Structure 1
Amino acid sequence: MTGTDRSPEVLWRPDPDAAPRIADFARTVGIDPHDYDALWRWSVAEPDAFWRAVWRFFDVPGDGEPSPALADASMPGAVWFPEVRLNYAEAMLRLPGRADDDVVVVARSQSRADVRLTAAQLRDQVARARAGLQRAGVVRGDRVAAYAPNVPETLVLLLAAASLGAVFSSCAPEFGVQSVVDRWKQTEPTVVLAVDGYRYGAKPVDRRGEVADIVDALPSVETLVWLPYLEPGAPAPAIDGTATTTWDELLGEPGELAFERLPFDAPLYVLYSSGTTGLPKPIVHGHGGITLEHLKSLGLHHDFGADDVFFWFSTTGWMMWNLLVSGLLTGSTIVLWDGNPAHPDLGQLWRDADELGVTYFGTSAPFLLQCRKEGIVPREIGDMSTLRGVGSTGAPLPAEGFRWVYDAVGEHVHLQSVSGGTDVCAAFVGASPTVPVYAGEISCRCLGAAVESFDEDGEPVVGSLGELVITGPMPSMPVGFWGDDHGSRYRAAYFEDIEGVWRHGDWITITERGTCTITGRSDATLNRGGVRLGTAEFYTVVESLPEVNDSLVVHLEDDEGGAGTLVLLVSLADPDGTDVEALRTSVARELRTRLSPRHVPDELHVVRALPRTLSGKKLEVPVKKILRGVPADEAATRGALADPSALDEVAAVAASR
């Protein structure tokens, strides 16, 4: 089935005189560098040839012949590069195009002064940390964890652990005790790096008690590595049965910068699902899959090289941190930023980007939309001429957000709206420097990602809404879930609904131009009177109203076949100065005229705050359960939320209905 779609406004076009790396790559495989669609189709039709070409284009260090690339295309169970051995840390610390005295890491924090590391200093710190981990008894396969923010120490620990073949994981220090224990009791780390606290804007946050409780609850921990980050000299907690050392002591002795080359699917790190319902899924990613996928993404789609300064706002509890630090694979300088991005105001990140010469500024769609709402104009805050790219993820970015970037940041920037997931630590759909940017649309399907939109009969559709599915394997699909020895949890998570096809759980529309729109989770659809709507479209309308700070909508279906009840929860920008009845009228008018009369909410409830995960995602399904009578603490795990008390707000609404 093919739909017809009218082309929206073009906001950016490729520079015909530019020479991005993706064009060079296309030429090496004999494809017209200006024909992205042909390159994408070849990449998914011939995955063995495509991924071999990626390996050779970036000259990945390793042993063995990178052929075959794909020995078994089963999903799940694909076998990639069975003949090679490599190490992610070795590829990272190669730092192509950078001299020893080049600064490759810049860290800015609200807790301490800036830190800069040259290539030589970074390599030296990794070698020292590696030696320290060996003194602590860490060997290949052991787990090493960090309860630490987006600072150089976390990066150094990741690379040191990876060099040994140990398996890394991290939790941001804003995670509560139970959230951390729920994650790490599954993987049983032997070494934990922890900070005493951090500063969030002007507010100091002490975490010494949480660190003691976390380590005490994890019998596997043999060594606590203490990093006094909030207060230099803060003493480490004394925990029975656990040795304690400081970060300085761990790095106290010089070491050899060596790398154990491992099979392609050897575990590199464990990322965790949000854990809003039940235990978080411990998603294991491999050395080879992450190395290749991040080289493809950052080197081809983002066109990064040794002249780039790469920033993406993230905590260590979100997969975007893992992508950010992988900027080193391309020789880019990476900017690690820790603190409150709205302190003292939303212009701070833009000021820092200007001062630090950032060439690529990555953030979330909600951040960009809030900047728009508050009238932030980055091109008036600083000289944005060095900035060539802006990245957006975490939620769909509507057309208004696209236009704001080009109006307020600059007409020259390449806006890359991307969507993927922790599950693959990558994007399925995104952008390319050889493809135009259309208002409100994701520019293209990513190379090597066989993305389709399936209708209710499991058939691919173009121009109409369908399930986002992946019909062929990607190297960064999980090695598996930790402890899931027979793969049953992994299969149930992605392959249960359609045999041999990855169902991601998002609604997607793929246009005839090859662009895409993501319109929310497919398990949170608004289906009223036969009109099916993704929640992202709903939020675009409601949150455009100046009175609304945040919103969340759920559809409570009628078991007897009626229209059901559409419930809208909103938090207000000015709780004391808003006429709620007037707001109801405004919401109804805007939704009726901009979406459909069927999607005017039956109920509108004002709450102080709405439940979001620590990475900012709205909890639509748990909220729906609470409104149907499920106790709040059964519907969601409080420790996984940015504001756990927001669940009580929803429970109060449920009780009042």
Structure 2
Amino acid sequence: MTIDHAKSAPVVCWTPNPKCVSACRMTEFLTRVKEYYQRSVENYSDLYQWSVENLASFWHEVFNFMDVISSVPPATPVINENALIDTIPKWFPGVRMNYAENLLRFRNETRVAVYVVDEQGLRESVTFCELYQRVTKLARCLKAVGVTSGDTVAGYLPNGIVALEAMLAAASLGAIWSSASPDFGVKGVLERFSQLNPKVVFSVDAVRYNGKVHDNLAKLKTVINELTTTANGSCLKYCVIEPYYVSTSQQRPVLEDIPYAILLPDFLREHSGPSEEELEFVQVPFDHPLFVMFSSGTTGAPKGMVHSVGGTLLQHVKEHGIHLNLGRNDVYFYYTTVSIVILLESISSDLKVGAICRCRQCRVFALQTGWMMWNWLVTPLALGVTLVLYDGSPFIPTINALWDLVDKFGTIYYRNRESRSSEPQQSALPSWKPKVAGEWTSGSRIVRIFGWIRSVCETIVKYVISGFSPKETHSLSSLRAILSTGSPLSHHSFDYVYKHVKSDLLLGSITGGTDIISLFAGGTASLPVHRGEIQSRNLGMAVEIWDDQGKPVWNTPGELVCTKPFPSMPIYFLNDGDGVRYKSAYFSRFPDAHVWAHGDYALLNKETGGLVMLGRSDGVLNPAGVRFGSAEIYDILEVIPGVADSLCVSQYHPSVHGVERVILFVKLEELETIENGNNGSSNGVQVEHSGEDWCSLEQTIRKRIREGLSPRHVPAKIIPTPEIPVTVSGKKVEVAVKQLISGLPVKNREALLNPVALEWFRDIPELQEPWDA
């Protein structure tokens, strides 16, 4: 039993302008398929069905349509269409290409490629030409110190220009790139980098957050010392340190205690060689390793997932170019955090526009380089898109910070003229050209794409709505789309954006993940937006929802699966020679069906074609045979005054197998101390609340869940908690809490952003009391 999404009439929040639809790439691509393949393809649904039934033709067409640069073009077929997904088939055999060459294709242009921004404002702007020159110089240095194709270069870096330049320099040589954000602790970095054995590590002396500079050298010293003393030996040759905030103190960082350390300016001066040399893009196979991405590590050592050059590039240009219609006049800014819980308790309900967040507990960081959204953000350089790289809190120097950026860079680009581009490589069929000028093309105003992790939106909705409506204080005239990821975007957030931000924009909730370094479903510029739904399954992704018997279902919650191969599947896992870990991760849920089970609990709306995300499969709640996702509970709680955050999990019966009950933990707004009415305290911890006593708030929560979902959704216990544990990538840690309260062991606490918070959930008295099965 669950809330019946199918019986609720879909609410249309936004419909694209027909003129814009006719001019967008999706329409052009549909027309191309219709004419070239002589197929009856009249709408997106038809095009989607054709794409998953004709994988080889579809992906070959995307390669040509998006004008992917390769020294050896694709042969046909690009994949064996009879191959099962769990055989991890080979894509585009014979193709030779380079990821960095595609991202630097506009290297002759003087348009701005990247704006580098932090809490203090614009640090620098870098043109496409300058980016190429800087990458060229850095690539010469890497080559001079022995980095070659197949070697690994790692970054322990914030979201700044050096991370982008180092990644592109490594990729130009055919090397592999992997990164971790400076918010990672020493153990978290070592768990990842020790699997990589990098030849060069890039890092920074310090990072800035919430108006303060935080040293990074102490952690870096420990990391490098451990890497160079490993029992398996180390191939590390240099630790290159950017003096990120040296201008703050005017002092040269002390590096003597860090093995192989050298400042970036010295590294460039000593190893760059003759300046007249052009960058040589090493040509590699389509399935050559490009990125190593790591899982969160909450259930053991982080899994190293290796993604290919061609698979990553092709998926990203499809998603950004065809689905989102990004192009040469566009500015793209994606903000996310390492914490799903943005704590703004120090901000009062009557917060005024321009107020400054000085919260001691706020843990917001800019887009972290260790999460796939960073890789996803930078690839649109291949489309000529201008990026905004932001490092810092989204609420510094004021609560307006992100919206100020939208207006600032929108205005800049409104006045810019398009410069002449370098001649792209010609493909078998002509690449996309806009036929009709419109708001989604270069005809009048630029497209502005702004992305955030869902918690930023929820924070604004919950804490700022009473005193802050961006559309009242900002122009936002250039803003055309907002994307959201990290966890399901609630219905209330859709309402807030269209009421308080802008009514005429695409609000695109997206889903995919580090495992595929891309999306299963997401935003599409040519489709309407329905409240609470992801707009569509992405082209070429054979996504279905299956019930427990392995049968596809519509309008019924179930397991999200992908039934056919796609190019951005990991090519292998690190330290998994026989592929056992890989196959266990994705193909064990329905072992005889040969499908990828992603671990998401979701619903497909047959009427709209949209996807409703209901939570993680391992977090599905099943009291008395009533299955539902935790996201349904979170959606209700997000608009209840007094509730700052929540965590909903099952507790297994200690003696009766298969019996569970639902436990809801509620983090309260921290303004005024209260006590739990049941036992005088909450596991020995005082929990603060905004004025309403706990009993009254608990009754409100039960009432809202009962009315909004059903009586069977109401938790058996609702308990106040001082903090919600989250991973370093910002996800609520449901599984670990479920294990703790059920008396089961928890692995690898170091994978959490706030591991101390997990201890609070051990041996909670009211959960130790006997309960009927």
In the superposition, the TM-score normalised over structure 1's length comes to: 0.95
Structure 1 residue 563: deviation in Å?
5.7
Which residue in 2 is equivalent to 1:365?
A: 454
8 Å Cα contact 1:111-1:199 kept in structure 2: no
Which residue in 2 is equivalent to 1:104?
A: 113
Which residue in 2 is equivalent to 1:120?
A: 129
For residues 520 and 62 of structure 2, what CA distance do their matches in structure 1 show?
A: 17
**Within the alignment, does 1:74 sit opposite 2:90 as a pair?**
no
Which residue in 2 is equivalent to 1:26?
A: 30
1:133 to 131, 137, 142: 142
Structure 1 residue 318: deviation in Å?
1.3
8 Å Cα contact 1:272-1:281 kept in structure 2: yes
For residues 533 and 585 of structure 2, what CA distance do their matches in structure 1 show?
A: 28
For residues 326 and 175 of structure 1, what CA distance do their matches in structure 2 show?
A: 24
For residues 372 and 399 of structure 2, what CA distance do their matches in structure 1 show?
A: 23
1:61 to 65, 69, 74: 69
SS of equivalent to 2:115: strand
For residues 271 and 517 of structure 1, what CA distance do their matches in structure 2 show?
A: 26
Q: Read off the aligned partner of 1:396 and give its amino acid letter.
A: P
Structure 1 residue 562: deviation in Å?
8.0
Which shows bigger deviation, 577-586 or 317-326?
577-586
Using the aligned pairs only, state the percent identity.
39
Which shows bigger deviation, 604-613 or 393-402?
604-613
2:562 to 449, 470, 480: 470
Structure 1 residue 331: deviation in Å?
0.7
**Within the alignment, does 1:564 sit opposite 2:660 as a pair?**
yes
Q: Read off the aligned partner of 2:621 and give its amino acid letter.
A: L
8 Å Cα contact 2:78-2:91 kept in structure 1: yes
8 Å Cα contact 1:351-1:381 kept in structure 2: no
8 Å Cα contact 2:246-2:253 kept in structure 1: no
Q: Read off the aligned partner of 1:37 and give its amino acid letter.
A: S
Q: 1:5 to 1:69 in 2, by over 3 A?
A: farther
Q: How does 1:40-51 map to 2 (within 5 A)?
A: 40-51=48-59
Gapped regions of structure 1 (runs ≥ 5): none
1:388-431 CA distance string (max 9 Å, x none): 00001111012211111111111111111111110011110112
For residues 177 and 635 of structure 2, what CA distance do their matches in structure 1 show?
A: 38
2:613 to 518, 531, 536: 518
Structure 1 residue 555: deviation in Å?
1.1
Structure 1 residue 235: deviation in Å?
1.9
For residues 191 and 381 of structure 1, what CA distance do their matches in structure 2 show?
A: 46
Which residue in 1 is equivalent to 2:290?
A: 268
Q: How does 1:159-558 map to 2 (within 5 A)?
A: 159-219=168-228, 220=234, 221-232=236-247, 233-239=251-257, 242-252=259-269, 253=272, 254=275, 255-313=277-335, 314-357=367-410, 359-373=448-462, 374-375=464-465, 376-498=468-590, 499=592, 500-512=594-606, 513-558=608-653
Q: 1:33 to 1:307 in 2, by over 3 A?
A: farther
SS of equivalent to 2:148: coil
SS of equivalent to 1:312: strand
In the superposition, the TM-score normalised over structure 2's length comes to: 0.81
For residues 249 and 230 of structure 1, what CA distance do their matches in structure 2 show?
A: 16
2:749 to 625, 637, 640: 637
1:459-503 CA distance string (max 9 Å, x none): 111111110000001100101112222211111110122242100
For residues 291 and 539 of structure 1, what CA distance do their matches in structure 2 show?
A: 35
Q: 1:231 to 1:446 in 2, by over 3 A?
A: same
**Within the alignment, does 1:651 sit opposite 2:762 as a pair?**
yes
Structure 1 residue 618: deviation in Å?
0.5
For residues 121 and 141 of structure 2, what CA distance do their matches in structure 1 show?
A: 24
SS of equivalent to 2:566: coil
Q: Read off the aligned partner of 2:141 and give its amino acid letter.
A: G
8 Å Cα contact 2:119-2:397 kept in structure 1: no
Which residue in 1 is equivalent to 2:9?
A: 7
Q: 1:651 to 1:197 in 2, by over 3 A?
A: farther
8 Å Cα contact 1:389-1:414 kept in structure 2: yes
Structure 1 residue 344: deviation in Å?
4.2
8 Å Cα contact 1:196-1:234 kept in structure 2: no
For residues 569 and 348 of structure 1, what CA distance do their matches in structure 2 show?
A: 32
Q: 1:642 to 1:561 in 2, by over 3 A?
A: closer
For residues 393 and 422 of structure 1, what CA distance do their matches in structure 2 show?
A: 12
SS of equivalent to 2:329: coil
CA RMSD for the aligned pairs? 2.0
1:52 to 57, 60, 72: 60
Q: Read off the aligned partner of 1:284 and give its amino acid letter.
A: V
Gapped regions of structure 2 (runs ≥ 5): 229-233, 336-366, 411-446, 673-689, 769-773
For residues 3 and 610 of structure 1, what CA distance do their matches in structure 2 show?
A: 28
For residues 382 and 766 of structure 2, what CA distance do their matches in structure 1 show?
A: 52
Structure 1 residue 261: deviation in Å?
0.9
SS of equivalent to 2:459: helix
2:166 to 133, 137, 157: 157
Q: 1:57 to 1:654 in 2, by over 3 A?
A: farther
Q: 1:575 to 1:555 in 2, by over 3 A?
A: farther
1:4-46 CA distance string (max 9 Å, x none): 5443211111211111111111111116776000111111100
1:112-170 CA distance string (max 9 Å, x none): 75211001100001000101111221111111001010001000000000000111001
8 Å Cα contact 2:115-2:122 kept in structure 1: no
Q: Read off the aligned partner of 2:245 and give its amino acid letter.
A: L
For residues 218 and 547 of structure 1, what CA distance do their matches in structure 2 show?
A: 46
Q: Read off the aligned partner of 2:505 and give its amino acid letter.
A: V
For residues 654 and 54 of structure 1, what CA distance do their matches in structure 2 show?
A: 58
1:532-574 CA distance string (max 9 Å, x none): 1110010111222120111001111335268633211121113
Q: 1:461 to 1:16 in 2, by over 3 A?
A: same
SS of equivalent to 2:85: coil
Which residue in 1 is equivalent to 2:46?
A: 38
Q: 1:624 to 1:21 in 2, by over 3 A?
A: same
Which shows bigger deviation, 484-493 or 571-580?
571-580
For residues 298 and 120 of structure 1, what CA distance do their matches in structure 2 show?
A: 22
Q: 1:112 to 1:9 in 2, by over 3 A?
A: closer
Q: Read off the aligned partner of 1:334 and give its amino acid letter.
A: L
8 Å Cα contact 1:471-1:501 kept in structure 2: yes
